[in-house]
Chain A
Amino acid sequence: MSFKSAVITFPGSNCDRDALTYLKDLTNGEVLNIWHEETSIPAVDLIILPGGFSFGDYLRSGAMASKSNIIPEIIKHSESGKFLLGICNGFQILTEIGLLKGALIQNKNLKFLGKDCFIRKKHENKFNKFIKQDQVLQIPVAHNEGNFYCGEEDLKHLNDNGLIAFEYCKGSFSNSDENINGSINNIAGITNEQKNILGMMPHPERAYQSFHGSKDGKIIIESLLS
């Protein structure tokens, strides 16, 4: 059966087209684009909440989007065990809804950060299972609020239950940073307990074609398709 997926567009989403292209190129299945005011979503295997500045980041990144009409449907989708991936602003929205622990606060240097970063997998899940344990992925980040923070209890919970999907690490050559934005324990991406929801700050949809300079972002969809 072919893999069916959807991308949600909020006002101010700006990586929705990128996510649609990423899914179309890599899944060979049907890909839907759904407007945030819709109140139903057809049955799909994966939903992506894309990056961007939903609602202009007014109030707090992701806060307004987490109250959109579509959100109850997203929660329903995730409760059925299907995959939900939040990238960048999508990750922020997932923490605002409460589907993922913690919060994304402003980068430690108080500046927007747009550059390639290096990540590796910490705990295995269906999104990252094809990644080898010592493999370093090169994927761009572009965020102002990408500094993952949570309380000690939550951090212990994430660690004890193997919910830390990705952590930032050093690249293979000199002058590459490890912790680019101040995230606690270098966390770049986490899952829920059922491990069907992933939130991550790096943008895999910007690193999968030859001209991107890195194809490392492919592996997430490849892992999910298997």
Chain B
Amino acid sequence: MNDELILQHGLTLNEFQIIKDYLKRDLTMEELGIFSAMWNEHCCYKTSKKWLKKLPTNNDVVIQGPGENAGIIDLEDNDGVAFKIESHNHPSYIEPFNGSATGVGGILRDIFTMGARPIATLDSIRFGEINTDKTKYLLNGVVHGIGHYGNCIGIPNIGGESEFDSTYDFNNLVNAMAIGHVKKDAIFYSKPKTIGGLIVYIGSKTGKDGIHGASMASDVFSENDEDDKRPSVQVGDPFMEKLLMEGCLELMSSGLIESMQDMGAAGITSSSVEMASKGNVGVLIDLDKIPLRQPLSPYEILLSESQERMLAVIEKDNDTKVREILKKWQIDYEVIGEITDSKNVVFTSKNKQVVNLPVNIIVDDAPEYDREFYLPRKRNKKDFDCTHLNLEKMINNLFDNLNYLDKSWIYNQYDSTVMGDTVKEPGQSTGIIKLHDSQKVIGATTDCNPLYIRINPELGMIYTVVEAYRNLISSNIKPIAITNNLNFASPLDPNIMGEIVLSINGLKKSASKLNTPIVSGNVSLYNQTNDLPINPTPVIGMVGSNLNINKIISNKFQNDGDIIVSIGESLGYLNSPYFLKDQKITREINSFNELEDIDLENEILTANSIMYLADNKLIQSCNDVFRGGIFMSLIKMIEKDYGFTVELPNKFDLFCEYRAGYIITVKEDELSKVCNYLSKNNVSHSNIGLVSNETIKINSKVFDYFEIKGKYLDNFEKIIN
């Protein structure tokens, strides 16, 4: 095999030599394809594994940590919750509609593969500056794609986040998260149990789409790549996935299936290798039996990423029953091989072996790199002059910026109420879904603060985890666990590698302290086009619960005249990077001050106090304070025609970021009770005003309520059109 061919397959010459030394023979083209698919970052985490191992992944509520299709946590009784987040960044840049749609499809399969019925999705999406036609095209396509897939299959979208920043101009990010409900005694794993068990193929026919998708996802783009790479983008069919989901869930509940694995990235190759590795067994698969959409070579079959396909293992006696159930759902089904005791992965075609590889070399001997990394430089303390900023100017700066505006243009394209169990829809600090036939609710949020992480990867990551934590607390949802999606540029750059290492460290510190282990995740590297790297964007999805739906608190104002209490302490504008950037004081990364240290004990103490007050029905509504400060927090609490009247001694504190920051509203006659409790627990708080109908009044200055509300609600659509 020549060097060029090897490099085209995304392997280094050194990696290829390792394989040859082990096998003591030449590889077939099919085998080269398998290593290409399995040894890229997307499948084997060769750059990040060393660091990911340090993350806390277990505690007494974790049923399944990383390593399966999704993580699962215990929600008491027989209830478990499966969840995971996954990226579809590169495909969504090349073909936004199908790229994002199949991102949703893929993450949903990860959930129902485990026997869980998907009950909610969230999406974390990032785009470049909106002033180009390209960004508008990407935004429209991505939102349309996410909506199309989720709406059709009928899983509610309950939240997420979007951000616009120039570092994503040529590399947008699409991370999709899904949550499922599983009975603890009916969880399915990918590990097969019986030697001689039948390997069966369930779902759509295999076509040419997505060949080499996984290695593309681990590649750097160059300028004219989009057209060349478009055939690598998979095409999704949510109707097929709906049938597949119902068919698989029916098979699983009938006890006809032994194990299941979805054909995700690297299709039948990764799913079969994964199964063999988990069970410490071998697989023998006849490629001639694979249902095909068009004539394909064995090489193409192995690497196809056609969507809506599953691999399962069943006992021989169940063949007819399985066939019948799948016929009802009009799903293709074929017996394609069997589990062997050889510990080798063997694929045949035309009665000839085209692949015969020991499982352990593909999985256990996958390369693991300890790449060089640099630590960021110390920052000098800087002062900035903000005296020119008055209230109007600061408000207008926020309302001219997509990142602060109401995003209903996005989430109104999603069905967020299908399944009838949605408690809180997108647009609030927490998405909340009720478990069907139960009083338990699950809250979820996705977050990332790339600017913080760019300034200080470790501390910035802690801020990100804390933001997610506050999001859940503000609805009285107890945070339980995390799924992560680490989006970074090329790890071959030691500065970027430093961001990866340090932010994982920040994740480790905060997740340990907050007792929210990481149960699943995904790594997406090489997010750069030519020399333009994205901001470090390690997105986290945090999931929590409240076992009693009646204890949930609203993120929106409830009654005219309620007292507004601000909790926490302002970081001051010099230490509020988003304030400095978005008020146009500075945007040069090197000019920002070092991030203020964050006191996790204080965050926990404050959170516990809020949960106590909420449990005792002393809080009418609550919202967390983050980017945009108290002002944005209050604006987001507006519902119906409620507004607010507030007084703050320092006008900048209205827009700065906060330590343990929340806004709560309380009834006037319960104020002293609430304040006494907060004082007793050393939670800093101050009474800053009251909820007032059709009024926005700040430090005695009256603003036009309908104008402010109108700008917040309508400017997003005006700016993007």
Q: Which residues of A contact B (CB under 8 A)?
A: 11-12, 14-15, 17-18, 21-22, 35, 51-53, 55-58, 111-115, 140, 142, 144, 172-175, 203, 205-206, 211-212
Q: A173 with B641: in contact, given A11-B329, A142-B151, A211-B423 (CB under 8 Å)?
A: yes
Q: Chain A residues near B417: list those with CB within 8 A.
A: 114, 140, 142, 203, 206, 212
Q: How far is the CB of A22 from chain B (nearest CB, A)?
A: 7
Q: A22 with B641: in contact, given A11-B329, A55-B239, A56-B239 (CB under 8 Å)?
A: no
CA distance A174 to B643 in the complex (A): 12
Q: How far is the CB of A152 from chain B (nearest CB, A)?
A: 31
Of B296-304, B379-387, B586-594, B705-713, the one with at least 4 CB within 8 A of chain A: B705-713
Q: Which residues of B contact A (CB under 8 A)?
A: 144, 147-148, 151-154, 237-240, 242-243, 328-330, 408, 411-420, 422-423, 434, 436, 549, 552, 640-641, 706, 709-710, 713
A114 touches B412 (CB 8 A): yes
B423 touches A14 (CB 8 A): no
A12 touches B709 (CB 8 A): no
Q: Chain B residues near A52: list those with CB within 8 A.
A: 154
B423 touches A53 (CB 8 A): no
Q: Chain A residues near B239: list those with CB within 8 A.
A: 11-12, 53, 55-58
B706 touches A18 (CB 8 A): no
A11 touches B330 (CB 8 A): yes
B418 touches A205 (CB 8 A): no
Closest Cβ neighbor of A20 among chain B residues: B420
CA distance A30 to B416 in the complex (A): 29
A112 touches B420 (CB 8 A): no
Known: A12-B243, A114-B411, A173-B640. 16 other contacts (CB 8 A): A11-B243, A11-B329, A14-B419, A18-B419, A56-B152, A56-B237, A57-B239, A111-B412, A112-B415, A113-B413, A114-B147, A114-B417, A144-B151, A174-B641, A205-B420, A211-B552
A175 touches B418 (CB 8 A): no
Choice from B148, B242, B415 contacting A12 with Cβ under 8 Å: B242
Q: Which of A12, A51, A55 has its CB near the most chain B CB atoms (within 10 A)?
A: A12
CA distance A12 to B151 in the complex (A): 11
A113 touches B238 (CB 8 A): no
Q: Chain B residues near A57: list those with CB within 8 A.
A: 152, 239
Q: Chain A residues near B154: list those with CB within 8 A.
A: 14-15, 52-53
Choice from B415, B640, B709 contacting A114 with Cβ under 8 Å: B415
Q: Which of B151, B414, B549 has its CB near the most chain A CB atoms (within 10 A)?
A: B151
CA distance A173 to B148 in the complex (A): 31
A12 touches B330 (CB 8 A): no
Q: A17 with B330: in contact, given A12-B239, A175-B713 (CB under 8 Å)?
A: no
Q: Chain B residues near A173: list those with CB within 8 A.
A: 640-641
Q: Chain A residues near B237: list those with CB within 8 A.
A: 56
CA distance A11 to B153 in the complex (A): 11
Q: How far is the CB of B714 from chain A (nearest CB, A)?
A: 8
Question: 10 A-B pairs, CB-CB below 8 angstroms?
Answer: A21-B436, A53-B151, A53-B152, A56-B152, A57-B152, A114-B151, A114-B412, A175-B713, A212-B417, A212-B420
Q: Chain B residues near A140: list those with CB within 8 A.
A: 417
Q: Chain A residues near B148: list those with CB within 8 A.
A: 112
Q: Chain B residues near A113: list those with CB within 8 A.
A: 412-413
CA distance A22 to B330 in the complex (A): 28
Closest Cβ neighbor of A205 among chain B residues: B420
CA distance A212 to B434 in the complex (A): 10
A15 touches B414 (CB 8 A): no
A22 touches B420 (CB 8 A): yes
Q: How far is the CB of A176 from chain B (nearest CB, A)?
A: 10
Q: Chain A residues near B414: list those with CB within 8 A.
A: 112, 114
Q: Chain B residues near A115: list those with CB within 8 A.
A: 408, 412
Q: A112 with B413: in contact, given A53-B238, A173-B640 (CB under 8 Å)?
A: yes
CA distance A138 to B423 in the complex (A): 15
Closest Cβ neighbor of B117 among chain A residues: A17
Q: How far is the CB of B355 from chain A (nearest CB, A)?
A: 35
Q: Chain A residues near B243: list those with CB within 8 A.
A: 11-12
Q: A18 with B418: in contact, given A53-B152, A174-B706 (CB under 8 Å)?
A: yes
